[in-house]
C-alpha cells in the first residue's frame, strides 16, 4: 500500500499533496496546545508502533504481501487529528530513509493511510462504541471493526489512484506511462488481500491493543470516549515514564521484526522497474493481477521518476549487514529513533 515513486503522475502527486495539506494544517492547529512534554511521548510511541508494525509483512493471495498499519489504534487513543500527524511521521521516515513508499507519492500515502485511515477508524469506533464504559467488551469489538475499516479504506483509495493512471496517462499508442493496470484490475488486486489477511491483521492488532489498555491503563481510551480528541483530553496524556509499558511492548515487537521477512514476494503495486523484465517477477505480477499481462518493460515515466530519490537504507537492509534478520532489527531501531526525533521536533514547532 506504500505507493512508490513513478506509479503516480506528477499532477496526481501534486493534487494529493494539496488534498493532504489542509488536514495536516488543521491537525497541527487542533493539537498544538496539546503538543507538550505530556503528549509527545504518546504521539511518539504510537507513531513508532505504526512504523514497526508495517515491517511485519504477511503473505497475501496471488503471491504478494501486505501489512497492518496501526492507524486504528492511533486514532482511538490519540484522536483523529493527532493520529494523522503520528502516522504521517512514520510514513515520512519510511520513505526518506528506507525507500518504503516514494517521496513524490508521500502526499498520496499520507492521504490514504494517515488521513482517510484515521478518519475512518475514528468515525467507525465512535459510531459503534457509543457511550459504552471504557472497559466494556463493546469497545474492543468497535475498535477491531474500526481498524478493519480503516485499512480497507486506505487500500481502496490506493487502488483507485493506481487505476486512474492507466485511464488518464497513456501514450498515443495506448502504452501506460505510470501505473500499468486499469481500475477493474487494480481494485480487486488490492482489495482481495486487504479484505482478508491484511484487514484481519489490523482488526486483531487494534482490538487486541484496546483490550490490553482496558486492563492496564483505561484512561488512555478517554480521548475518544465521548467524541473528543487528544487536544481536548490533554491532561490525560502520560509522560515518558508512564508510557514505559507501551515502549516495552514496542521493544519486543522490534526484536520480532525479522518475522516480516518470512513472507515472500512484494506488495501489489510496489514493483521495481527491473521487475517488469524479470520472468519470475512478471509471473508474480501477472498472477496477482487477475492474470492480466504486465507491460514488457517498465513504463517510461515510471522508470524515470523511480530514480528521483535513493534511500540510504533501502528495503530495511543496511548494506554493511551480512545478516538480513539482524539488519531488519537494526533498521527498526533506527526507524524508531528517527520517529521519536521527528515527533520531538514537531512538538517543538507546535509550541512555537
**What digits encode the pLDDT tens for the residues 157-170?**
999 999 999 999 99
Instruction: Specify whether the CB–CB gap between 76 and 39 falls below 8 A.
Output: no
Q: Are strands 58-60 and 64-66 parallel, antiparallel or unpaired?
A: antiparallel
- Taking 3-state DSSP, the helix, strand and coil percentages for the chain, each rounded to the nearest 5, stand at 65, 5, 30
Confidence class for position 241, pLDDT limits 50, 70, 90: confident
CA 58 to chain centre: 14
Q: Rounded to whole angstroms, how far apart are CA atoms 4 and 9?
A: 11
pLDDT at res. 116? 98
Q: Which residues pair with 65 in a beta bridge?
A: 59, 267
| Full set of structural domains in the chain with CATH | 10-351 (1.10.1760.20)
Mean pLDDT for the chain? 92
Average pLDDT estimate for 241-256: 92
pLDDT at res. 230? 44
Q: Rounded to whole angstroms, how far apart are CA atoms 13 and 305?
A: 12
pLDDT exceeds cutoff 70 at 85: yes
Q: Which residues pair with 163 in a beta bridge?
A: none
Q: Rounded to whole angstroms, how far apart are CA atoms 152 and 157?
A: 9
Confidence class for position 351, pLDDT limits 50, 70, 90: low
Q: How far is CA 88 from CA 110, 242, 253, 343, in A?
A: 6, 24, 20, 10
Counting residues of the chain whose pLDDT is more than 70, the rounded percentage is 94
SS3 at position 176: strand
Q: Rounded to whole angstroms, how far apart are CA atoms 344 and 352?
A: 13
Instruction: Specify whether the CB–CB gap between 267 and 65 falls below 8 A.
Output: yes
- Return the H-helix or E-strand segment holding 64: strand 64-66
Q: How far is CA 25 from CA 19, 29, 30, 57, in A?
A: 11, 6, 9, 32
Which one, of 265, 260, 202, lies nearest residue 64 by Cα? 265
Amino acid at each position: 500500500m506504500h505507493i512508490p515513486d513513478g506509479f503516480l503522475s506528477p499532477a496526481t502527486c501534486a493534487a494529493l499533496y494539496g488534498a493532504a495539506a489542509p488536514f495536516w494544517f488543521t491537525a497541527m492547529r487542533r493539537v498544538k496546545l496539546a503538543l507538550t512534554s505530556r503528549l509527545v511521548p504518546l504521539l511518539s510511541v504510537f507513531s513508532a508502533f505504526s512504523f514497526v508494525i508495517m515491517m511485519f509483512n504477511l503473505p497475501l493471495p496471488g503471491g504478494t504481501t501486505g501489512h497492518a498499519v496501526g492507524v486504528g489504534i492511533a486514532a482511538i487513543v490519540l484522536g483523529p487529528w493527532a493520529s494523522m500527524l503520528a502516522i504521517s511521521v512514520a510514513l515520512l521516515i519510511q520513505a526518506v530513509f528506507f525507500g518504503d513508499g516514494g517521496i513524490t507519492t508521500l502526499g498520496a500515502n499520507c492521504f490514504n493511510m494517515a488521513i482517510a485511515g484515521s478518519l475512518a477508524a475514528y468515525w467507525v469506533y465512535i459510531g459503534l462504541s457509543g457511550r459504552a464504559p471504557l472497559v466494556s467488551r463493546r469497545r474492543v469489538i468497535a475498535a477491531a471493526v474500526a481498524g478493519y475499516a480503516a485499512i480497507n479504506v486506505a487500500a481502496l483509495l490506493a487502488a483507485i489512484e493506481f487505476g486512474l493512471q492507466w485511464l488518464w496517462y497513456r501514450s498515443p499508442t495506448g502504452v501506460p506511462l505510470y501505473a500499468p493496470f486499469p481500475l477493474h484490475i487494480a481494485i480487486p488486486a488490492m482489495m482481495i488481500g486487504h479484505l482478508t489477511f491484511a484487514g484481519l491483521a489490523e482488526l486483531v492488532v487494534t482490538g487486541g491493543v484496546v483490550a490490553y489498555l482496558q486492563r492496564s491503563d483505561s484512561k488512555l481510551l478517554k480521548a475518544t470516549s465521548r467524541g473528543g480528541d487528544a487536544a481536548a483530553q490533554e491532561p490525560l496524556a502520560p509522560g515518558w515514564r508512564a508510557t514505559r509499558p507501551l515502549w516495552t511492548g514496542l521493544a519486543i515487537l522490534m526484536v520480532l521484526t525479522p518475522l516480516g521477512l518470512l513472507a515472500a514476494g512484494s506488495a501489489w503495486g510496489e514493483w521495481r522497474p527491473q521487475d517488469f523484465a524479470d520472468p519470475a517477477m512478471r509471473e508474480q505480477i501477472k498472477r496477482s493481477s487477475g492474470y492480466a499481462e504486465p507491460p514488457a518493460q517498465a513504463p517510461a515515466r515510471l522508470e524515470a521518476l523511480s530514480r528521483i530519490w535513493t534511500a540510504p537504507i533501502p528495503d530495511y537492509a543496511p548494506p554493511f549487514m551480512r545478516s538480513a534478520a539482524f539488519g531488519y532489527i537494526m533498521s527498526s531501531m533506527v526507524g524508531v529513533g528517527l520517529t521519536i526525533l521527528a515527533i520531538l521536533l514537531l512538538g517543538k514547532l507546535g509550541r512555537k
